[in-house]
Amino acid sequence: MRKDKPAKTTLGNVAERAGVSRALASLALRGKPGVLPEKRQRILQAAADLNYVANSAARTLASGESKTIGILVSNILNPFQAALCKAIDAAARAEGYEVLLSINGGSDEEAEHAISNLVAQRVAGLVLIDAPQSVGTIERISWQVPTIYVGRYLPTDKVDCISNDDYMGATNLARHFLELGHKRIVHLDGGNGAGAVRRREGFVSAIRAARLEAQTIPAGYSIDTGAAAAREALKLSPRPTAIFAANDFAALGVLNTLMISGLSVPGDIAVAGYDDMPQAGTETISLTTMRQPMDRIATQSIQTLSHRIKMPGEPAVRILVSPILMARRSTLGSIADGKAASAAAE
């Protein structure tokens, strides 16, 4: 016997469940002011309970009125994020989309304001590159317009997201140090940065599996936080022989600190980062790092978003892409170089 398809949840259903008017429910779901916090929370919870998906953007695209997507990036000054943004832009244009770019994603408040401006431009969908940070905010945005979140493996099954496998990458990078003979390895934590938690967990797991002490120092995803954490690492006794910074920007801060301290890389201390920003492979820096396959992430981001625009009611997907170890001069030969330096000093 043929079964009828279940009716789609409407804005009216959400309003009825929350005990408010359709107009108030619409304001809350679009993140607009004028809604009391307790009512906003009740409306958002009702939408989540009913699996409500706003599909106005999909209708706009189907009618031929819009073929534009919005891209929001959290930190355009981060070389990796800037390059990723460019790759996503190219992938979107290759699929026939026009692109609106916003670089104002530094804080959740700025991100929400930027997103509101993009939605006002009648975009068919959004690509969010590590902004905003709040999962609840990201879920709410995805109810307003088809959305994919790039750079972080979100702890929710309500939003499409894609990232590299940070846990795998950090594990493989820690094993790289172990294979070189290092036993005193320190990880500079990435704080609230995209993938930082899973990178820390992967590092700790690999080091403990080798029956060594897993040492971590709070840092972040900037040159300054990397430099400050490196200074703390140099105070440890015995001094570490290897430092794994949570991203390449922080690793640059480590390299600066070691140079100022008169220490050689990799002779005295080996250094590695994460991301493989464009400058990491230059002869001057030659930084060992984990490469996030940027082109693949960009292509899958746009393909997933395009599918979401056309099929707004389907279950969300979470995609992990395997990173690649790029072993360069900042770690290779570090143990041998260190022994040679010690012999020369004697």
Q: How far apart are CA 311 and CA 262, in angstroms?
A: 58
Of 6 and 279, the structure prediction assigns the larger pLDDT to 279
- The reply to whether 137 and 223 lie within a common domain is no
Diameter of the chain measured on Cα atoms: 88
- Count of domains forming the chain: 3
Whether residue 228 is found in the same domain as residue 126: no
Same domain, 214 and 285: yes
pLDDT digits (tens, 9 = 90+) for 113-127: 899 889 888 899 999
Clarify whether residues 197 and 335 are in a common domain.
yes
User: Rounded mean pLDDT of the chain?
Assistant: 88
Same domain, 58 and 175: no
> Is 337 in the same domain as 201?
yes
Residue 57: per-residue pLDDT: 47
Same domain for 151 and 75? yes
Structural domain containing residue 118: 54-162+296-321
Tell whether 67 and 199 lie within a shared domain: no
Give φ, ψ of 204 to 5 degrees. -60, -40
What's the whole-model pTM score? 0.77
Asked whether the predicted pLDDT for residue 24 surpasses 90, the reply is: no
pLDDT tier for residue 55 given thresholds of 50, 70 and 90: low
Burial class (CB in 10 A: 0-12, 13-18, 19+), 233: buried
User: In Å, how far are 39, 91, 260, 265, 268 from 71, measured between CA atoms?
Assistant: 30, 12, 39, 38, 42
CATH number for the domain spanning 108: value is 3.40.50.2300
Q: What share of the chain has pLDDT > 90, as a percent?
A: 68
Q: What is the CATH number of the domain that holds 5?
A: 1.10.260.40
Please name every residue paired with 244 in a beta bridge, in sequence order, or none if there are none: 187, 272
Q: How many helices (H) and strands (E) does the chain have?
A: 13, 12
Cα–Cα distances in angstroms (integers) from residue 174 to residues 262, 291, 317, in the given order: 25, 15, 29
Instruction: Identify whether residues 195 and 332 lie together within a single domain.
Output: yes
Q: Are residues 176 and 307 in the same domain?
A: no
| C-alpha count within 13 angstroms, C-beta hemisphere, residue 240 | 30
Same domain, 210 and 331: yes
- Same domain, residue pair 120 and 104: yes
**pLDDT of the residue at 65:** 52
SS (H, E, C) 70-89: EEEECCCCCHHHHHHHHHHH
Predicted confidence (pLDDT) at residue 73 exceeds the cutoff of 60: yes
What pLDDT sits at residue 53?
61
